[in-house]
Amino acid sequence: MTQKIFPRNLTAQAAYQVAGNPVTTRLEDGVGNCYPGLEFDHRNLDRRFFPGLVFEFVAQGDADTLRTGARLVRLETRDSDLTPDPRNASDEEVEAANRLRADLGRESAVLSQGDWFIDSIEQNGVEISLAGASDGNSPLDGMVVWRLVRCLEPDVVKITLVRREKSTVKKRRTVPLIGWRRKFLETTTGVIKTVYQPGELTQSLCSPWQHDFRDCACDYWASNHPDIVLAQNPPGAPTDLPTGAPDVPARSLSSVDWLRSDRTPEAAAAALSTFSANRPYQMDHYEINQRWQELNIVLLGKEISNIFRPRIADLANPFDSPDELADNLEFLAGIEHVLVLEYLYAYFSLEDPKPLRKNPKWPTLVEDLTFAQHELLMVVVSEMRHLRWANQLLWELDHAGLIKRRDPVLKPALEVPTGTGGKRPRALRILDADSLESFINVERPSGTIEGQYARAYATLRGRSYPPTMYQLAERIIADGVDHFSRFRSIKTVLKPYFDIPSPPYLRSNLKPASPGDGRVKRVLGLYQEILEALGEAYEKGDLEDATFITQARLEMAEMDSEGQKLAHDNLGIPFF
C-alpha cells in the first residue's frame, strides 16, 4: 500500500487561493507550465553553485577573450551553506563546509584583488580544464562553463581559481578550493534556499515592452513574443475560410515577420529565411517603445486585428453517450480508409519526375511535379495515421471501460462526403482538375469530416474521458486543415497545366488493372497482408507492441514499389 504523500514544498501545501495573492501566484498559472524554465533564469541558480562564492558566466562577444568563462563576482563568508545544520546534512558535508569556510577566510584578501576565474573543475576523479588552449589564452565560453557546472552532482567538488591579467596569463596566481556542490532546495521545506535574494532568479530576464522585447537572446519571450506568423486577410480580399485563413492559397500559407516595421498590407510579404535577412525590415529598439500597440495579437499562429472566430471544434456539441461517439468513430475510420485509397491511386497517376528533363515549353515542370508528388504523399501518410488514431480512440474507450470491445475498423467506406452536406460514390481517379477539386472539398474546414471530429473532440473533453483522447482528436482536426492547405497548394502549382489536353505531369491513360493480372494479384495480396497486420495490432491495442505495425510498414513500402511499376505501364491498383 502506498504511503500518503506529504508535500515539502510549502507552496504546494496551499491547494487553494491564498487571500491577498493574485491568481497568477498559483502554480498552475505559471508560464513554466507551457514553456518550462521561463519563470526564472536557470543561470542565476548556478551562479551560487559553490558555497561562499558568486560567479558570473561571461559569454564570448560580451567581453574580450581573457574575460570569458566563470568570473568571480564576490565572496559571501556568511553563506548559510558554510555552516550547515548537522541535523539536515551528512557528516561529510559538514566537514567539507568547515574546511571550505577556513580556506575562504585565509584566501579572502587575495581573492578580493584582481579578476578571478574558474580555471578547472574536478569531481569524482574527473578534472576538466576551462583554460581552453594549453597556454591558457583561449578560455572556454561562459555558456560552455555553465553547461559543465549544470552537470555537477550534489557531491564533493574541487575548483581551482586563477587570476587573469588583461594582457597576459604568465605568472598567474591560483587558489584551489574544495567544497560541496550546492543543493538548491531546503531539505525541510522544499523551497529555494534563502541564500538567493528576492528577485535574484529573475534579474537577468527581459523587461516587458522595453528594449529587451526587441532582441531577447534567451528566448524568455517565447510564450508571448511571436516570431514568424501567418498573415491575416487584407481589407477587400476574398472572404476568410472558416479557419480564419485568407481564401487565397499563396497568402494563407505565407508566414510574415511579426516585428516588421512597415505594417501596411502591401508590405506583408513572406518572411525571409534568416534572422539577419529580416532584421533590416524590423522595428528598432526605440521604435518598438513607441509603436508596440501596432503589433497584432496572434491566435492559432495567425495575426488577428478584427473579431476572432473560434474553431468549429470549440463550438461543436458533444455526443450523448460513449456508444454514440464510438459509432461516429467507426464511420470516420471508414472514411479515412477510403480516402487513403483514393489519394494513393491519384498519387500513382503522377508522372515520375526523375527521368524528365528541362523543357523550354514547361520550364518548371520537374519542380512542380516533384512538389505535387511530395505533398500528395504526405497527405496519404497522414490519412493512414488518422485511420490508426480513429481505431486507437475506439480501443482507448474500451480500455477505459466506457464501451464494449469493438472489432478494428479496416473496411473502406462505400461513399465519401462532398464537404457540402452531400455524398458521392467512392472512385479511383487520376489527379486531374476535377478530382483535385473533389479532394479539396472533402478536406474543406467545417465540412463533414472536421464537423464529426469536432463533435468527437467536444465529447472527449468531458471529465469521464482520459485527457489524452481529446488531444488525439484535436491532432486529427489540425491535420485535416493541413490536408486542405496542401491540396490547394497542389492546385495552385498544377493549374497552368489543366487546360492542356494531355497534361505533362499526369499519366492520363492510367486505368484500374485487371485483378486477374499476376502482378496485380501480388499487389492486392500485399494490401490484404497490410490489413491483416493492422487488424492484429489494433485488436490488441498495445502501444508498446510494434511488431505488427512494423510488418505493415515494410509491406507498404513494397506495395509502393510494385504500384510504381504498374503505373509505369499505365495500370492502376484496383483497390475496389
Where helices occur in 285-364 by DSSP H, the ranges are 285-291, 322-348
What angle separates helix 467-494 from helix 448-460, to the nearest 10 degrees?
160
- 131 and 235 in a single domain? The answer is no
Q: How far apart are the first and last CA of the chain?
A: 56
- 513 and 470 in a single domain? The answer is no
Q: What is the pLDDT of residues 336-393, one digit of tens each?
A: 999 999 999 999 999 998 888 777 888 899 999 999 999 999 999 999 999 999 999 9
| pLDDT for position 255 | 82
Structure-block grid coordinates of residue 130? 576551462
Average pLDDT, stretch 151-167? 88
CB 351 within 8 A of CB 369: yes
Q: Determine how β-strand 174-180 pairs with β-strand 156-164.
A: antiparallel
* Cross-strand bridge partners of residue 57: 70
- Per the structure, the count of domains in the chain is 4
Higher pLDDT, 160 or 484: 160
| pLDDT for position 415 | 93
Q: What is the pLDDT of residues 91-129, one digit of tens each?
A: 888 888 999 999 999 999 999 888 999 999 999 999 999
- 480 and 545 in a single domain? The answer is no
- For the chain, what is the largest distance between any 2 Cα atoms, rounded to a whole number of angstroms? 95
- 263 and 318 in a single domain? The answer is no
- 303 and 343 in a single domain? The answer is no
Q: What is the pLDDT of residues 22-52, one digit of tens each?
A: 666 666 665 555 555 566 778 889 999 999 9
pLDDT greater than 80 at residue 163: yes
With respect to residue 323, please indicate whether it lies within any of the assigned structural domains: yes
Secondary structure class of 531 (helix, strand, coil): helix
Report the chain's mean pLDDT, rounded to a whole number: 83
CB 355 within 8 A of CB 568: no
Q: What is the pLDDT of residues 292-331, one digit of tens each?
A: 788 888 877 778 877 766 665 566 788 899 999 999 999 9
Cα 337 to Cα 536: distance, rounded to the nearest angstrom: 17
pLDDT greater than 80 at residue 72: yes
- 391 and 429 in a single domain? The answer is yes
| pLDDT for position 425 | 94
Cα 414 to Cα 404: distance, rounded to the nearest angstrom: 26
- 373 and 397 in a single domain? The answer is yes
Which of these three, 508, 543, 562, is where a domain ends?
508
Cα 44 to Cα 454: distance, rounded to the nearest angstrom: 45
150, 185, 148: which is closest to 41 by C-alpha? 150
| pLDDT for position 222 | 45
Structure-block grid coordinates of residue 25? 501566484
pTM as predicted: 0.59
- Give me the domain span that covers residue 299: 211-309
CB 232 within 8 A of CB 296: yes
- 436 and 546 in a single domain? The answer is no
- 110 and 54 in a single domain? The answer is yes
What is the CA angle 266-270-271, rounded to 5?
Answer: 120
Which of these three, 291, 309, 327, is where a domain ends?
309
559, 348, 528, 337: which is closest to 426 by C-alpha? 337
Which of these three, 483, 508, 533, is where a domain ends?
508
How far is C-alpha 421 from the chain's CA centre?
35
